[in-house]
Every structure is written in C-alpha cells, then in structure tokens.
Amino acid sequence: MRSPLALLLAAGVLVAAMATGAGVAAQPLETAVKAAFLPKFAPYAAWPSASIPPAGTPYVVCVVGHDPFGQLLDEAAAGQRRDSSPITVQRLSRIDGRSGCHIAYLGGSPAQPVAAALTALAGSPTLTVTDARVGRDRGMVHFELKSGRVRFHIDDAAAARANLALSSKLLSLALSVKQRGRS
Amino acid sequence: MKPLTRLAGRWQTIPRAASLIAGLLLLIGIAVIYQNEQGYRAQKADETRVQAGILAASVTAALDFGDAAAAQEAADALRVNPQLLAAGIYDGTGQLFAGYQRAREPLPRRMPAASAAGERSGNLLQAIVPVERGGERIGSVYLSAQVDPLSRRVARYGLVALLVVMASLVVVVLGIAHTALRGANRELSDSNAELQRQIVERANAEEALRQAQKMQALGQLTGGIAHDFNNLLTVIQGSADILKRPALPEDKRLRFADAIVQTAARAAALTGQLLAFARRQPLRPKVVDLNERVDAMMDMLERTLGARFVVRTDLGPGLCPVEVDPTQLEVAVLNVIVNARDAMPEGGGIIIRTREAVPEEIEGDGAGVALSVTDAGMGIDAETLGRVFEPFFTTKNVGKGTGLGLSQVYGFAKQSGGDVRIDSELGVGTTVTMLLPCTGKPLEKGPETTGPANAQRRGRILLVEDNEEVGAFAESMLAELGHAVVRARNADEALASIDSGLPFDVMFSDVVMPGISGIELARLVRERRPDLPIVLTTGYSEQIARTGAEDLPVVLKPYRLDALAKALDDAMAAAARG
Ligand SMILES: Nc1ncnc2c1ncn2[C@@H]1O[C@H](COP(=O)(O)OP(=O)(O)O)[C@@H](O)[C@H]1O
Ligand SMILES: [Mg+2]
C-alpha cells in the first residue's frame, strides 16, 4: 500500500509543479489568443438588421467586469474589420440590452456576476462570450483550454434566441455545439 | 531490295491529291485531338481551381482561429480524389499551415510564387486561391492536380486517332492502287511491245535455227548418201571391171552383170527416196494388186537381206486393188524391210502380211487394205516413236542411216490417201502397217515386162541429150535395140535436124538442158511435126512435177533397157495407130 500512496503523492506534486509552471508561462499567451479571437468572431456572426451598424460606424466589443486583456484586445481589434466597419473595444462594469455591445466578454465582477450579466442580456442581440477560467456560467461562446490550446464551445440555441446567426465555419471549429431548435 | 525500291517508287507516284487528302485528314484529326486535349485541360484546371476555392472557403475559420487540426481535416477530405496530388493551406504570412502531399509531389514549405498560380506544367495542374474573410486575405490554398495519365488520354483519343489513320490509309491505298493501275497499264503496253519485239526476234531466231538444222541435215544427208552411193558404185565398178576381163566363163559373166543390175536398182531406190523427200518426183499412180506386187518383190528382197534372214509372207486372199505409184510402193516396202533388217543385227524372221483393213483403220468410209511388215527386232522406245517419221531423223550412225526411210513411207502412204501405223514393243519387235484405200478402177494388166529387151519396132530416133556420157550411153543402148540414131546436143541442134527434113519416127529428149528445155522443145517440134511421137526422159524435173509432161510419156532416169525399149515402142505404135 505504501508505493501507490507514494506514487499518488509524487504525481500530485508533479501536477502541481506543472500547473504552476505552465500557468505562469501559458497565462499571457492564452490571454493573447483569447484577445485575438474576440474581434474575430464578428465576421462569423450575423446580427439582426436593426443592430447592424451603419457603414463607417464600428462594431463594438465590450469587456464586462474583470478585464484580463488590457492593451492586447485593443491591438487585436484595431487589426480587424467586419465588412467596412472597424471594431472598437468598450469596457463596462455592467451590461444590459441597451449597452450597444455586439460582442460581450463577460469577465464577471462583484457588481454584476457572469450569470447576472447573461440574464440581463437575455433576448438582446449580443454575442456573449464566457471563459472557463472565470466560471461555469456559459454564454453563446465559452472559452476552454484544451490540450494547451484555446478552444470554445458554442451554444447555437442561445444565439438563436438572441436572433443571432453563427457561421457554420465557426461552428465547425467548436469543441461542442448546442444545436438551435428546429422551429 | 527490289520490292523496297519498287515501293519507294510507288510512294513517289501517289497522286498529289491523295496525299493532300490524307494529310488534311491527319491534320484535322490532330487538330480535333489537340482541341479536345486543350478543352480537357482547361476543364481540369477549372475543376482544380473550384476545388481549391471550396477548400479555401472551408478552412477560413480554421485559419482565422489557428485551428490546424480542423484545416488538416478539411485538406484530408480531398485525399479521396486520387488526381489531387497535394493540398496546402498557408497562413497570411505564407507559412504552411496544414496540408497533405502524395509521393513525388512535395508540398512547398512556403507559399509558392504567385506567378505559378493556375499554371500547368506537363501533367500537372496547379491552383492557388486566396483564403478571404470579409474581403480580407488571411491566407492561401494551394492545390496541385494531375491530369489523366497519358495512357488514359491515349485510350481516349485512340479511337479518333485510329479512325483518322485508317481513313488516311484508305485514301493513300486508293491513291497507290490508282497509280499502280495506271503504272500497270503502262507496263502492260510496254511489255506488249516488248512481247511483239521478242516474237519477231524469236521468229528470226527460229528461222536461223531452221536454216542451221537444214544445213546440218544436208550435211548428214550428203554424208549418208555419199557413203551409200560409194558402196554401190564400188560394186558396180568392180563388177564392170571383172566383166571386161577376157575369157570370162558364162556363169561368172551373168553373176557380175546381175550384181550391177541389182546395185543400180538400189542406187535408183536411194535417189528415189531423195526425190520423194524433195517432193519432186512425179507420182505415177497405177491400179495394182498388192499381193502381186509383194510376190514380184520377193526375189529382190531376199537378195537384199542375205542368208541370215527368213522372209515369210502371209497374203490375204481376194483383196481389192489399190491405186498407187508402184515404184514408190516398192521403195516403201524396201525401206521398211531394211529397217527390219537393221533392227535384227543377228538376223531373224520377217513377216510380210496383207489383209483387209478393219474400218477403224481407214479414214472416212470405204474399204482399204493393210500391208504390214513385222520383225522380231529391238523395238522402238516411246520417245523415238514420236519422231521416226521426221525426215533425217535417225538413230543410226552416219553412213548407216539417212533418216529418210520412214519419211518416204509416210509421204507415200499419205499421198496415196492412206496412212501408216507403227506398233512396237521394246525387245519384242515392230510391226509397220501401211493402210491404202481400195480403188473402184479396174486392174491395169501387168507391170513393165521383164522379158527380153527386144524392140518390136525399129525406127529413126532423134536423141536430144546435153550430157556427153549419158548421150553416148543412150546412143549405144538405142543402137543395141536396133534403132537408127541421130544425136543432138541441145534444142537448137534438134530443131535444125528436123528442119533439115530428116525423117524421124520418134524424138527422145532430155528435159533439163541449158537454153530451151525438153518440154519447150517438144512444143516447138509439135508445131512443125505434129505427128512426130515424142518421149521425154529426166532424173527429175521441176517442170514435170509442177505441170506434168503435157501428156507426153516420160522415162525416168536411171532407166533400164527394157523400160526404154517399151516407151519408144509404145510411142511409135500409138503414132502408127493414128
Ligand atoms: N523396225 C524397226 N525397229 C527398230 N527401230 C526402227 C524400226 N524402223 C525404224 N526404226 C527407227 O526409226 C528411225 C528412222 O527410220 P528411218 O526413217 O527408216 O531412217 P533410218 O533407217 O535411215 O535411220 C531409225 O533410225 C530407227 O531408230
Ligand atoms: Mg530406214
């Protein structure tokens, strides 16, 4: 019985060491990837015509609550366009249907936890993005680190409820897709 | 080598039109195939571009979100198409992002130069298509595809090519056939002309050969006859010499005189053969009885053959008479007998047979008689049998044979309206059969009487003879017969004698003389003395052969004393009658 225990212990130590080591090294890269992804979702989503910005006016990516990206997101957004529209970044402490966000990363905050933000946005045409690092609550896109790579789950049903259409190309990249109802 | 050059020659002569059509057909065929190939390649290029476009569209998000696995998956989906050799997905910086490659077609590590886009090189089609998101280029897709392998394409165009080639071949063959026909026509007329020339040449050559053969035959003949004649002359000369000796006993004198008579007869037979061969002997047919003739000849035959031979006769009774020249008949029988003798060097039996001819043996209707001579000699082989009737054909040595014997027999039989048959078996013997047609005419009685050579009538005779010896001989002969003779050496002398009013009872004239011939002389004499009987004599005479002797009696040289006496007697008797 001693050796399995010792093995288990050793494994635990190893995992901890790996976790901390990987965590320290991976964290900035993972954040940078996510920052790059966020504005890229814009071309793969279609908003109801009322929400489409007039030509020249930007699509808005909002970071709600905790912001892990900082300058990285601004840089990524600057390099992206959707059609003729640029993409800009707004940082909010709270969000609701009238905030004018096309894409919203819900970083969570005591003022408005992720679940509350999701509730506040229910039915409004905002592509919600949540992060497994933040919590279990899932928006339409949910980041998760898989095999050291940033991947995402997609809840197409939720997107449908928000009158959003997501490109099948995007769906094909998802770790999992919650299909929209055939109605 | 020869057919090759001939073929080459043919090729040159294919009419221009045929080659033109064939060439045109080939060109059209090639053009059709080329166009087809171009179309096919263009279509393939389009297809490849479309495939690349589809791949580009399907990997946009994967490229955008850096999902190499997804991109790889999309690229791998193309692997099912064996013609797509390599597929590459490159990111915005031109770095290879995902893709696959098949053997021998490596995938470039970096985005290939843009200039290569859509280019084809040999069997390879390449397409490069940008990956765009919202009008922005975020990467590229590279595809390289293989067009159908050559074998597949060859198979596709094979039928067309085959049809075109066949059609061209047909045209060319037709062309060749056409020219060949024309050529053949020309050749035909050429060879026809050549043939004509050869026929003429050949005729000339044959003429020359005939001439040469004639000369050769003449040589052989002369040799043979000279030999025979010399033999005969030796006998005559020797006998005459002995007769000249004084105090010769009577029996010896008779024997040698007989020898001279016999030998001269053979010499006469010999020249008779020659003349018969030359067809210059006038035929003097008489109605005779064959059996009688054979009987009459037996003495002479037995003497000719000698003691080693036994001649037996088997003469059929009651045979019809035949109309033939008796001298020729005798010569013919003699010829056949001599052949029989020569076929049996050791001697033996010879059978002379006469019988009625069976109908199959006689041409046409009417009856005939057959006279055959059978020996037990060596026989005649089939090859020789085919030639025995040829003049000058002989298997005997020079001096032994002249090749004229059977030729005479044949000529005689044919001229008499009959035929000759030879049945022979090698080593057993030979039968030569003369077939002669019966005649309806009554028998003429008796041949020349062999009785004493006494002239019944004596008369004054005008003898015209240019040859000194013969003239002197004839003179003494006529004197011997009791006639009075006046000799003339030519026609002029003869006419002068007549004009001088000498009373002649008969003119006896040679036919062949320098200047006026005997026949012309006869005509001239008749004008002056129509009642003077005329008798002609000749060894041979073309004129008599051609025109006959104008009803004048002819005594053939060499003549026997009794023959001469009889001819003159008859002439004088006829004149006395009327
Ligand atoms: N009874 C025969 N037996 C064998 N051969 C014969 C007989 N009769 C004729 N022949 C052949 O026919 C040839 C021609 O005969 P012929 O014309 O009489 O000429 P010749 O006797 O001078 O040779 C002879 O050379 C001989 O070969
Ligand atoms: Mg002979």
Range from A164-178, B15-29, B212-226, B243-257 that averages highest in pLDDT: A164-178
Domain carrying residue A126: 4-178
Inter-chain residue contact A173 with B134, CB threshold 8 Å: no
What average pLDDT score do residues B69-98 get?
A: 86
Q: Which residue of A has its CA nearest to B56?
A: A169
Domain carrying residue B74: 13-102+109-148
Q: Which residue of B has its CA nearest to A79?
A: B136
B388 lines ligand 1 (CB under 6 A): yes
Non-local (6+) Cβ contacts of A133 within 8 A are A143, A145
Helix (H/G/I), strand (E/B), else coil: B128: strand
Would you say residue A144 has pLDDT above 90?
yes
Helix (H/G/I), strand (E/B), else coil: B508: strand
Q: Which residue of A has its CA nearest to B67?
A: A173
B348-356, strands of its sheet edge to edge: B309-315, B348-356, B368-375, B429-437, B419-425
**Amino acid identity at B542:** E
Give the residue carrying structure tokens 């001697």. B347
More confident residue, B387 or B432: B432
Token digits for A38?
């966020």
In a domain, B46, yes or no: yes
Kindly report, residue by residue over B136-146, the tens digit of the pLDDT. 888 889 888 87
In a domain, A103, yes or no: yes
B336 lines ligand 1 (CB under 6 A): no
Q: Which of A82, A83, A173 sits opposite B65 (nearest CB)?
A: A173
Query: Using the 8-state DSSP alphabet, how is residue B283 labeled?
Result: P
**Picking from A135-149, B26-40, B143-157, B184-198, which range would have the lowest pLDDT averaged per residue?**
B143-157
Does one domain contain both B374 and B477? no
**Amino acid identity at B164:** V
What average pLDDT score do residues B115-140 get?
A: 73
**Distance between CA atoms of residues B307 and A57, nearest Å:** 166
In a domain, A26, yes or no: yes
User: Residue B69's domain is classified under what CATH number?
Assistant: 3.30.450.20
**Strand duo B124-133 + B120-121: pairing:** antiparallel
Q: How much is the pLDDT for B461?
A: 92
Structural domain tally of chain A? 1
Q: What confidence category does residue B282 fall into, taking pLDDT thresholds of 50, 70 and 90?
A: low
Please check whether residue A81 touches B, CB under 8 A. Answer: yes
Does one domain contain both B316 and B430? yes
In a domain, B534, yes or no: yes
B225 lines ligand 1 (CB under 6 A): no
Kindly report, residue by residue over B234-268, the tens digit of the pLDDT. 778 888 888 888 888 888 888 888 888 878 877 87
B28 Cα–ligand 1 center, Å: 84
Does one domain contain both B406 and B469? no
Does one domain contain both B305 and B429? yes
ipTM of the complex: 0.77
Kindly report, residue by residue over A3-47, the tens digit of the pLDDT. 443 343 333 333 333 334 344 445 678 899 999 999 999 989 999
Query: Using the 8-state DSSP alphabet, how is residue B320 labeled?
Result: P
CA angle B503, B505, B507 (to 5 degrees): 100
Closest CA to B56 of B144, B146, B108, B128: B128
In a domain, A183, yes or no: no
**Strand duo B368-375 + B429-437: pairing:** antiparallel
Q: What confidence category does residue B217 fall into, taking pLDDT thresholds of 50, 70 and 90?
A: low
In a domain, A43, yes or no: yes
User: Residue B551's domain is classified under what CATH number?
Assistant: 3.40.50.2300
Would you say residue B205 has pLDDT above 50?
yes
pTM: 0.41
Token digits for B30?
């090639």
Does one domain contain both B67 and B144? yes
Give the residue carrying structure tokens 């279609």. A46
Does one domain contain both B290 and B428? yes
Average predicted confidence (pLDDT) for chain B: 82
Within 8 A of B57 by CB-CB distance, chain A residues are 169
Q: How much is the pLDDT for B360?
A: 80
Q: What confidence category does residue B213 fall into, taking pLDDT thresholds of 50, 70 and 90?
A: low
**Amino acid identity at A124:** S
CA distances from B9 to A145, B2, B17, B19, B293 (A): 88, 10, 17, 15, 79
Residue A81 bridge partners (DSSP): A86
Average predicted confidence (pLDDT) for chain A: 83
Q: How much is the pLDDT for A7?
A: 40
B411 lines ligand 1 (CB under 6 A): no
The DSSP code sequence of B108-123 is: PSBPPPGGGTT-EETT
Does one domain contain both B373 and B334? yes
**Distance between CA atoms of residues B493 and B476, nearest Å:** 20
Q: How much is the pLDDT for A56?
A: 84
Q: Phi first, then psi: what are they for A110, rounded to 5°?
A: -55, -35
Kindly report, residue by residue over B325-345, the tens digit of the pLDDT. 887 888 889 889 989 988 999
**Picking from A118-132, B145-159, B557-571, which range would have the lowest pLDDT averaged per residue?**
B145-159
CA distances from B408 to B333, B420, B452, B544 (A): 10, 11, 32, 20
Does one domain contain both B540 and B430? no
User: Residue A113's domain is classified under what CATH number?
Assistant: 3.40.50
Q: How much is the pLDDT for A24?
A: 41
Within 8 A of A170 by CB-CB distance, chain B residues are 61
In a domain, A51, yes or no: yes
Number of Cβ within 10 Å of residue B366's Cβ equals: 14
Does one domain contain both B337 and B379? yes
Would you say residue B394 has pLDDT above 50?
yes
Helices then strands, counting H and E runs in chain B, come out as 15, 17
In a domain, B216, yes or no: no
What average pLDDT score do residues B155-165 get?
A: 80
Kindly report, residue by residue over B7-28, the tens digit of the pLDDT. 555 555 566 777 788 888 888 8
In a domain, B18, yes or no: yes
Q: How much is the pLDDT for B448?
A: 43
Does one domain contain both B482 and B414? no
Phi-psi region for residue B43, left (φ > 0), alpha (ψ -120 to 50) or beta? alpha
**Distance between CA atoms of residues B206 and B503, nearest Å:** 59
Q: How much is the pLDDT for B13?
A: 58
Please check whether residue A169 touches B, CB under 8 A. Answer: yes
Inter-chain residue contact B135 with A43, CB threshold 8 Å: no
Does one domain contain both B530 and B417? no
Does one domain contain both B468 and B430? no
More confident residue, B439 or A6: B439
Q: How much is the pLDDT for A63?
A: 95
Q: How much is the pLDDT for B421?
A: 94
Helix (H/G/I), strand (E/B), else coil: B86: strand
B543 lines ligand 1 (CB under 6 A): no
Kindly report, residue by residue over B444-462, the tens digit of the pLDDT. 764 443 334 445 678 899 9
Indicate which residue's Cα is closest to atom 21 of ligand 1: B401
Q: How much is the pLDDT for B261?
A: 83
Q: How much is the pLDDT for A164?
A: 93
Q: How much is the pLDDT for A3?
A: 40
Would you say residue A89 has pLDDT above 90?
yes
Structural domain tally of chain B? 3
Q: Which of A82, A83, A169 sits opposite B61 (nearest CB)?
A: A169
CA angle B434, B440, B445 (to 5 degrees): 85
Closest CA to A180 of B364, A164, B394: A164
Q: How much is the pLDDT for B7?
A: 53
